Structure 1
Amino acid sequence: MITINQGDRIYHPGYGIGIVKSIRKKSFSGESKATFFKLYFKRNDLTWLVRANDMPSSIRNVMSAREAKKIIQHLTSWQGKLSEQWKVRATANQAAIDKGDPLGYAEVVKGLSVMQEQLPLSATDRKHLNHSIEFLCEELADALGKTHDRVRQLIDKATSSPPTVTH
Structure 2
Amino acid sequence: MKQTAFEPGDRVVLPPYGIGVVSSVCLRPVAGEEQAYYQVDFPNTASRAFVPVASPDIAGMRAALTARDMPALLDSLKTSRLNLPRQWAARHRRVTEILVSGNPFELAILTCELRRWNVERGLPDLDRQAFRRAIKLLEQEVSGLQDDGAQDVQQLLVHAWNETPQTVAAD
Same structural fold, with TM-score higher than 0.5 when normalized by the shorter chain: yes
Structure 1 unaligned segments of length 5 or more: list them.
161-167
Residue pair 1:75, 1:158 contacting (<8 A) in 2 also:
no
Which residue number in structure 1 is paired with residue 38 of structure 2? 37
Alignment length (residue pairs): 158
2:132 alignment partner AA: N
Larger relative contact order (Cα-Cα within 8 Å, sequence gap ≥ 6)? 1
Mapping 1:12-31, distance limit 5 Å: 12-28=14-30, 31=32
What is the distance in 2 between the residues matched to 1:95 and 1:108? 11
How far residue 150 of structure 1 moved from its aligned partner, in angstroms, is 6.6
Partners of 2:10 and 2:84 in 1: CA distance: 35
2:110 aligned counterpart, secondary structure: helix
**2:6 aligned with 1:4, yes or no?**
yes
Structure 1 Cα separation of the partners of residues 98 and 39 of structure 2: 27
RMSD: 2.8
Q: Deviations over 1:16-44 (max 9, x none)?
A: 21111111223256x12111221101264
TM-score by length of 1: 0.79
CA contact (8 A) 2:142 2:154 kept: no
1:144 Cα deviation from its structure 2 partner: 4.3
Residue type matched to 2:18 in 1?
Answer: G
Task: Tell me the residue number matched to 1:66.
Answer: 68
Between the aligned partners of 1:132 and 1:88, the Cα distance in structure 2 is 18
TM-score by length of 2: 0.78
**What are the residue-to-residue correspondences of 1:8-157 with 2, within 5 Å?**
8-28=10-30, 31-42=32-43, 44-53=45-54, 55=56, 56-145=58-147, 151-155=153-157
Q: 2:30 and 2:59 mapped to 1: Cα distance?
A: 23
Unaligned runs of 5+ in 2: 164-171
Structure 1: distance between partners of 2:27 and 2:15: 26
Q: Match of 1:75, as an amino acid?
A: L
* Offset from partner CA, 1:63-111 (integer Å, 9 cap, x none): 1112122101111121333221111111111101111111111111111
CA–CA distance in structure 2, aligned partners of residues 126 and 12 of structure 1? 24
